[in-house]
């Protein structure tokens, strides 16, 4: 790995704090750094639970749910 790669990884890690979770216009906007976003209408949220899962697992679960909806 090069120094340039190290800078990219550092910038990616810092981007998480620059794109916070946002609720606006009855929509929940989940932002995962510069790579991924999710928009969920509040009316589609059945429940909320606290989790200590790593962010990657949560993002994967959201993507899987999106895939299920697109197939319908």
How far apart, in whole angstroms, are the C-alpha atoms of residue 50 and residue 48? 7
**Does the predicted TM-score (pTM) go above 0.85?**
no
Domain ranges in the chain are 3-71
Cα distances (Å, whole numbers) of residue 12 to 27, 52, 60, 71: 25, 21, 18, 31
pLDDT tens-place string over residues 3-47: 888 888 887 777 666 667 788 999 998 876 666 778 999 999 998
């Amino acid at each position: 790995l090069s120094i340039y790669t190290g800078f990219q990884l550092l910038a990616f890690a810092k981007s998480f704090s620059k794109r916070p979770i946002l609720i606006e216009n009855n929509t929940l906007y989940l932002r995962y750094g510069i790579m991924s976003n999710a928009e969920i209408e509040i009316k589609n949220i059945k429940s909320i639970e606290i989790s200590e899962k790593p962010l990657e697992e949560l993002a994967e679960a959201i993507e899987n749910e999106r895939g299920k909806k697109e197939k319908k």
